C-alpha cells in the first residue's frame, strides 16, 4: 500500500509539472523551454527508488494526451518513454558517481550538473525524432526542436531537483529574520529586473547582475537549501518576465524574440554558482569540524603525541606536543617547540634502536621501538614510541607523528615479575645451596678450632696452625663464590651490559644447580669456545638457571644412572654463541610444546609454578637480540637452545716494544688511609691487613669521618661502606665532592649490595671504584696500590 501511495503521489506531482511545462510549449505543443517535470522525476526516483518509474510513464502519457495539441498515441508513447528513460538513467548515473542528496560536496554539484546535461539529451532526441517522424515538425526544424527540448529539461533538472531533494531532508532552524529579508529582497530585485520597460538594453543586463550577490548571500548564509530556493525564485521570476516580454533576454527591436540561450545560460550560471558555493562552504565547515575534533582528540588522548617537521637536513624538529606528552617530560609547550625529539631521550637510544630509527627516517617508513625519556626533574620515563610519516598530496613526507605510550608502570611490574621468578628459581635450589654453604662452613669452623688448639701448644704448633689456616681460607673462598653466585641471581639491578664470556655465565648456574641435579641425573658439562657476547650477567644467568631448573624438574628422582642433563656451549654455523641445555626427562607433547612460552601457562600443580619462567627467559634472550629455541619429544626429553649474537672481539694485543730493564723500585711511602664501615670487626680486619704498609684511621660512623675532614685532617685514600645507618656512603661522597673534591676522587666504596632505588641510581652514575663484599685481601691491597700510585702524600 505504501508503494502504491508513493507512486500515486509522484504521478500527480509529475502530471502537474508536465501541465505547467506544456503551457509554455513553443514547438508543436510539446517542446517547451520550461520543463520542471524533469526535476520532479529525477528527485522522485532518487528519494523513492527507481522502481517508481511507472508513475512517470503514466503521468507523461496522460499529460501529453490531455494537454498536448493533437498528439497521436505513437508519439505519446515515444515521448513518455523518453521522459521516463531520462529520469531512470539520471538516477543510475548519479548513484554511480556517488551522489549525495545533501549536495554538501562540490563533487555532488558537479555530478548533478553533468547528469542534467547528459541524460536530458535522451528525452530531447527521442521527442524530436518522434515529432519529425509523424510530420508534426519539419526535418529542417529538428535541431531547433532538440535544442529547445534539451534546454528546458536540463534547466528543470538543475533548478527543481536540488529544491525537492533539500526540502525533503531535515534542516536546522533557519535564521528567520535574515531569511525573510533575503527572500523579499530577491523577489523585489527579480521582479524589478524582469518586469520593467527595458528590453535587451545595457541597463536591463545591469539589473540582472544585481541578482548574483543575492544568490551568493543565500548560498553562504543558508547553505545548499538557501542556494536552491534562491535559484528557484530567480528562475520563476526570469522565466515569467521573459515570457511576458520583459528583461534582458528580449529583442529590443520587436519586443517578442526571446534569446533562449542567454536565458538558460543565465539560470545555469545562477544555479551552478549558488550550489557550488554552498557545497564549498559545507566542505569547509566539515573540514573545520573534523580538524577541531582531531585537535580535541589529540589533546585529550592518554598517549603522548608529537608532531615533528622534517627539515631539509633530514632532522626532525618538534612543532606540537599534546598535554600528555608535556606531562611525561614535565616541560611546557614553549620549552619543547623547536627541539629535536632525540634530545628528550635521557639515557640515549640503544644502538640497535638508533639504527632502525635512522633507517625509518631514510626510507620515510613506520618505526616502533622503546626509548627512555628524561623528565625535567631528572627521573626516567620508559616509553614505547610509534613514528608514522605524514604525506602531502604529492606523496612527499613533510611531517612525522610520534605517539609515546608510558610504560614505566609496566616496566616496574615486569621487573617485579622477573625478580619474583628469579627468586623462585633460587628458592627451588635452596636446599642444595644450603648444603653447598654448610660443607665449606663446617670445615672452616673445624680448621679455625684447629688453629686455636695448635697455637695453644706453643711454637711447635705453628706449622699445623698455618696448614689449618690455609684450609680455612679455602673454605672461606668457597663460601665467597657461592654468595657471589647468589647475589648475581638475586640482585635487583642487572640491566647494565658488558662483554661476557658465555662459559663464565653458565658455570655459576651449574654450581647452583649441581646439588639438586645429582639425585636425578648425571650432570654433563661440554664446554666449547663460544664468542663473547654483550649482555647482562644477571639476566643471562637467570636464563641458564631457569633452564637447569626446568631440566631437573622433568626428571624423576631415584634413577640418576638412567638420566642425563647435558650443558653444551660453543658457536653455531652463523658465528653466534650457543648454549644447549638438554635432558632425558619426560618431554612434552605437541600441544604443550606450542604454548610453553605463553605467560602463565604451566603444567605444574597449583602452587608449584607461575608459568612465567620460560616466557621471561624468551623475553630476556630477545632483548639481547638472540633466540630461544626448543625441541622435545614426549618420553624422550627436551632440548633448549640459546643463541646470542657475537660481540666485537677485543683488539689483538700489539707486540710490545723492547724496553730497558726497570730499576728496582724503592719502598712506597706510608700513606694516611681512612676506613669508614659500620661493621666494627670488618673495619678492624681491614686495618690489620693494611696497617703494616700505611697509617690507618678507622670509624664506624660517617658523621665522625666528615667531622675529621672538616677539622683539617687530610687523608690519601678513603675506604667507605656504601650503605650505613645515619650518614651513608653517598652522603660522605657528596660532602667530599663539595668541600674536598680531590679526596672525593680517591674514595673507594665497599658494598654488600644496592638495595634501594636511590642506591642503584647512585651506583650507575658514580665513577668511583666499587668493591663487592666479601672482598678478597689481594683484591683490596691491589685496589689501594692502584689508587695511591699517582697520588702525592697528604
What's the whole-number mean pLDDT along residues 309-338?
Answer: 82
**Residue 184 Cα to chain centre, angstroms:** 57
Which option is the CATH number for 1-170: 2.30.180, 1.10.1760, 2.60.120, 3.30.70?
1.10.1760
Which H or E element spans position 640?
strand 637-644
Q: Is the pLDDT of residue 130 over 80?
A: yes
Give pLDDT, residue 489: 55
- Select, from the ranges 138-152, 255-269, 330-344, the one with the highest average predicted confidence (pLDDT): 138-152
CB-based contacts of 18-23 (< 8 A; 24+ apart in sequence): 18/59, 18/60, 18/63, 18/64, 18/67, 19/63, 19/67, 21/152, 21/156, 22/63, 22/64, 22/67, 22/68, 23/67
Among 417, 387, 418, 420, residue whose Cα is nearest residue 404: 387
pLDDT band at 182 (very low <50, low <70, confident <90, very high): confident
* More confident: 712 or 66: 712
Residue 100 CA to residue 165 CA, distance in Å, equals: 10
Per-residue pLDDT tens digits for 1-35:
888 888 899 989 988 888 888 887 777 777 787 88
What's the whole-number mean pLDDT along residues 149-175?
Answer: 81
Give pLDDT, residue 751: 84
Q: Is the pLDDT of residue 704 over 90?
A: yes
Share the mean pLDDT of the chain. 80
Phi-psi region of 556 (alpha: psi -120 to 50; beta: other; left: phi over 0): beta
- Select, from the ranges 45-59, 61-75, 126-140, 598-612, the one with the highest average predicted confidence (pLDDT): 45-59
Residue 607 CA to residue 427 CA, distance in Å, equals: 13
C-alpha cell at 501: 664470556
Sheet strands (E) in 357-396: 367-374, 380-391
Scan for cell 672452616, then name that residue: 444
Scan for cell 661493621, then name that residue: 679
Give pLDDT, residue 314: 65
Residue 715 CA to residue 706 CA, distance in Å, equals: 12
Strands, sheet with 627-633, edge to edge from the N-terminal-most edge strand: 522-526, 564-571, 577-583, 637-644, 627-633
Q: Is the Cβ–Cβ distance between 137 and 131 less than 8 Å?
A: yes
Phi-psi region of 45 (alpha: psi -120 to 50; beta: other; left: phi over 0): alpha
666 burial level (CB within 10 Å; 0-12, 13-18, 19+): exposed
Q: Is the pLDDT of residue 408 over 80?
A: no
Per-residue pLDDT tens digits for 708-750:
999 989 999 999 998 888 899 999 999 999 999 999 999 999 8
Please state the domain extents for the chain: 1-170, 172-297, 301-406, 416-644, 672-788
Give pLDDT, residue 659: 47
Please report, rounded to a whole number, the percentage of residues in the chain having pLDDT higher than 90. Answer: 15
In the three-class reduction of DSSP (H, G, I as helix; E, B as strand; rest coil), residue 643 is classed as strand
Residue 2 CA to residue 329 CA, distance in Å, equals: 64
Does CATH place domain 672-788 in 3.40.50.2300?
yes
Instruction: Provide CB contacts within 8 A for 170, sequence distance 6+.
Output: none
Among 85, 228, 120, 101, residue whose Cα is nearest residue 168: 101
C-alpha cell at 299: 589533546
Architecture of domain 416-644: 2-Layer Sandwich (3.30)
Give pLDDT, residue 34: 80
Instruction: Provide CB contacts within 8 A for 783, sequence distance 6+.
Output: 748, 769, 771
Name which of 114-128, 267-281, 657-671, 771-785 the model is least confident about: 657-671
What's the whole-number mean pLDDT along residues 230-247?
Answer: 79
Q: Is the Cβ–Cβ distance between 538 and 425 less than 8 Å?
A: no
Q: Is the pLDDT of residue 241 over 80?
A: no
Residue 2 CA to residue 701 CA, distance in Å, equals: 99
Residue 75 CA to residue 81 CA, distance in Å, equals: 10
Per-residue pLDDT tens digits for 500-558:
899 988 888 887 777 778 888 888 999 999 999 988 887 888 788 888 888 888 888 87
Question: Where does 491-593 have alpha helices with state H?
Answer: 502-517, 537-553, 590-593
Cα–Cα distances in angstroms (integers) from residue 205 to residues 192, 249, 430, in the given order: 12, 9, 105
**Residue 595 Cα to chain centre, angstroms:** 28
Give pLDDT, residue 88: 93
pTM > 0.75: yes or no:
no
Give pLDDT, residue 495: 55
Give pLDDT, residue 754: 66
Residue 428 CA to residue 222 CA, distance in Å, equals: 79
Give pLDDT, residue 371: 82
Q: Is the pLDDT of residue 251 over 70?
A: no
Among 278, 184, 283, 166, residue whose Cα is nearest residue 222: 278
Give pLDDT, residue 604: 61
Cis amide leading into 97 (omega within 30): no
Strands, sheet with 672-676, edge to edge from the N-terminal-most edge strand: 695-699, 672-676, 717-721, 747-751, 770-772
Residue 535 CA to residue 621 CA, distance in Å, equals: 10
Does CATH place domain 301-406 in 3.30.450.20?
yes
Per-residue pLDDT tens digits for 329-383:
888 888 888 888 777 776 556 677 777 877 887 888 888 888 888 888 878 888 8
Q: Is the Cβ–Cβ distance between 530 and 579 less than 8 Å?
A: yes
Give pLDDT, residue 601: 64
Scan for cell 636464563, then name that residue: 543
Among 743, 741, 740, 702, residue whose Cα is nearest residue 724: 702
Per-residue pLDDT tens digits for 295-307:
676 666 778 888 8
Angle of CA points 86, 92, 96, to nearest 5°: 140
CB-based contacts of 757-766 (< 8 A; 24+ apart in sequence): 758/730, 759/722, 759/723, 759/730, 760/492, 760/493, 762/730, 763/493, 763/722, 764/493, 764/496, 766/733
Widest Cα–Cα separation across the chain: 155
Scan for cell 523577489, then name that residue: 187
CA dihedral 361, 365, 371, 377 (to 10 degrees): 70
Give pLDDT, residue 200: 57
Residue 772 CA to residue 487 CA, distance in Å, equals: 10
Q: Is the pLDDT of residue 605 over 60?
A: no
Q: Is the pLDDT of residue 118 over 50?
A: yes
C-alpha cell at 520: 636425578
Amino acid at each position: 500500500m505504501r508503494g502504491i501511495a508513493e507512486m500515486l503521489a509522484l504521478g500527480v506531482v509529475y502530471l502537474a509539472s508536465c501541465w505547467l511545462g506544456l503551457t509554455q510549449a513553443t514547438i508543436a505543443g510539446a517542446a517547451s523551454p520550461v520543463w520542471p517535470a524533469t526535476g520532479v522525476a529525477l528527485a522522485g526516483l532518487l528519494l523513492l527508488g527507481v522502481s517508481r518509474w511507472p508513475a512517470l510513464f503514466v503521468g507523461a502519457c496522460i499529460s501529453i494526451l490531455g494537454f498536448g495539441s493533437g498528439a497521436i498515441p505513437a508519439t505519446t508513447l515515444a515521448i513518455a518513454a523518453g521522459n521516463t528513460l531520462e529520469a531512470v538513467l539520471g538516477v543510475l548515473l548519479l548513484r554511480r558517481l556517488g551522489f549525495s542528496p545533501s549536495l554538501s560536496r562540490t563533487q555532488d554539484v558537479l555530478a548533478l550538473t553533468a547528469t542534467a546535461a547528459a541524460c536530458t539529451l535522451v528525452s530531447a532526441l527521442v521527442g524530436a525524432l518522434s515529432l519529425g517522424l509523424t510530420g508534426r515538425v519539419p526535418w529542417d526544424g529538428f535541431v531547433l526542436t532538440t535544442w529547445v527540448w534539451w534546454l528546458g529539461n536540463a534547466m528543470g533538472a538543475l533548478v527543481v531537483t536540488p529544491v525537492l531533494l533539500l526540502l525533503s531532508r531535515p534542516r536546522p532552524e533557519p535564521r528567520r529574520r535574515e531569511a525573510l529579508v533575503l527572500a523579499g529582497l530577491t523577489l523585489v530585485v527579480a521582479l524589478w529586473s524582469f518586469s520593467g520597460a527595458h528590453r535587451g538594453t545595457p541597463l536591463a543586463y545591469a539589473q540582472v547582475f544585481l541578482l548574483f550577490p543575492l544568490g551568493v548571500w543565500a548560498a553562504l548564509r543558508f547553505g545548499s537549501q538557501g542556494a536552491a530556493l534562491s535559484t528557484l525564485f530567480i528562475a520563476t521570476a526570469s522565466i515569467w518576465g521573459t515570457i511576458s516580454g520583459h528583461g534582458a533576454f528580449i529583442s529590443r527591436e520587436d519586443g517578442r524574440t526571446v534569446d533562449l540561450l542567454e536565458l538558460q545560460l543565465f539560470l545555469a550560471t545562477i544555479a551552478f554558482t549558488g550550489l557550488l558555493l554552498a557545497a564549498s562552504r559545507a566542505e569547509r565547515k566539515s573540514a573545520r569540524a573534523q580538524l577541531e575534533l582531531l585537535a580535541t582528540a589529540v589533546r585529550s588522548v592518554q598517549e603522548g603525541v608529537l608532531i615533528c617537521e622534517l627539515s631539509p637536513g633530514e632532522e626532525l624538529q618538534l612543532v606540537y606536543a599534546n598535554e600528555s606528552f608535556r606531562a611525561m617530560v614535565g616541560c611546557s609547550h614553549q620549552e619543547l617547540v623547536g627541539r629535536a625529539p632525540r634530545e628528550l631521550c635521557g639515557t640515549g637510544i640503544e644502538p640497535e634502536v638508533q639504527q632502525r630509527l635512522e633507517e625509518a627516517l631514510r626510507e620515510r617508513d613506520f618505526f616502533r621501538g622503546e626509548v627512555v625519556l628524561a623528565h625535567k626533574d631528572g627521573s626516567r620515563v620508559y616509553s614505547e614510541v610509534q613514528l608514522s610519516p605524514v604525506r602531502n598530496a604529492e606523496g612527499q613526507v613533510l611531517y612525522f607523528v610520534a605517539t609515546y605510550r608510558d610504560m614505566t608502570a609496566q616496566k616496574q611490574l615486569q621487573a617485579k615479575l622477573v625478580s619474583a621468578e628469579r627468586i623462585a628459581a633460587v628458592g627451588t635450589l635452596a636446599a642444595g645451596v644450603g648444603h653447598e654453604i654448610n660443607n665449606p662452613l663446617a670445615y672452616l669452623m673445624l680448621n679455625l678450632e684447629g688453629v686455636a688448639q695448635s697455637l695453644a701448644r706453643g711454637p711447635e704448633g705453628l706449622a699445623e696452625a698455618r696448614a689449618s689456616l690455609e684450609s680455612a681460607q679455602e673454605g672461606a673462598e668457597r663460601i665467597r663464590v657461592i654468595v657471589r653466585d647468589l647475589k648475581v641471581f638475586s640482585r635487583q639491578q642487572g640491566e647494565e651490559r658488558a662483554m661476557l664470556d658465555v662459559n663464565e655465565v653458565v658455570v655459576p648456574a651449574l654450581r647452583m644447580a649441581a646439588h639438586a641435579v645429582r639425585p636425578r641425573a648425571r650432570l654433563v658439562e661440554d664446554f666449547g669456545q663460544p664468542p663473547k657476547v654483550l649482555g647482562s650477567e644477571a639476566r643471562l644467568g637467570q636464563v641458564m638457571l631457569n633452564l637447569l631448573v626446568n631440566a631437573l624438574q622433568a626428571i624423576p628422582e631415584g634413577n640418576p644412572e638412567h638420566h642425563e642433563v647435558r650443558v653444551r656451549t660453543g658457536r653455531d654455523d652463523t658465528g653466534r654463541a650457543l648454549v644447549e641445555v638438554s635432558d632425558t626427562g619426560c618431554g612434552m607433547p605437541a600441544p604443550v610444546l606450542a604454548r610453553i612460552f605463553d605467560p602463565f601457562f604451566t603444567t605444574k600443580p597449583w602452587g608449584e609454578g607461575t608459568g612465567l619462567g620460560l616466557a621471561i627467559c624468551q623475553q630476556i634472550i630477545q632483548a639481547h637480540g638472540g633466540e630461544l629455541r626448543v625441541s622435545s619429544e614426549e618420553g624422550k626429553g627436551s632440548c633448549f637452545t640459546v643463541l646470542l649474537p657475537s660481540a666485537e672481539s677485543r683488539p689483538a694485543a700489539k707486540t710490545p716494544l723492547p724496553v730497558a730493564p726497570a730499576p728496582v723500585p724503592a719502598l712506597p711511602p706510608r700513606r694516611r688511609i681512612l676506613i669508614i664501615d659500620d661493621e666494627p670487626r670488618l673495619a678492624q680486619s681491614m686495618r690489620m691487613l693494611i696497617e703494616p704498609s700505611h697509617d690507618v684511621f678507622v670509624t664506624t660512623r660517617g658523621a665522625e669521618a666528615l667531622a675529621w675532614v672538616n677539622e683539617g685532617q687530610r687523608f690519601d685514600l678513603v675506604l667507605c661502606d656504601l650503605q650505613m645507618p645515619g650518614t651513608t656512603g653517598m652522603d660522605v661522597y657528596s660532602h667530599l665532592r663539595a668541600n674536598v673534591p680531590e679526596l672525593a676522587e680517591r674514595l673507594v666504596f665497599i658494598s654488600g649490595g644496592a638495595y634501594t632505588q636511590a642506591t642503584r641510581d647512585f651506583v650507575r652514575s658514580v665513577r668511583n671504584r666499587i668493591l663487592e663484599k666479601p672482598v678478597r685481601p689481594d683484591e683490596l691491597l691491589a685496589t689501594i696500590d692502584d689508587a695511591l700510585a699517582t697520588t702525592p702524600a697528604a
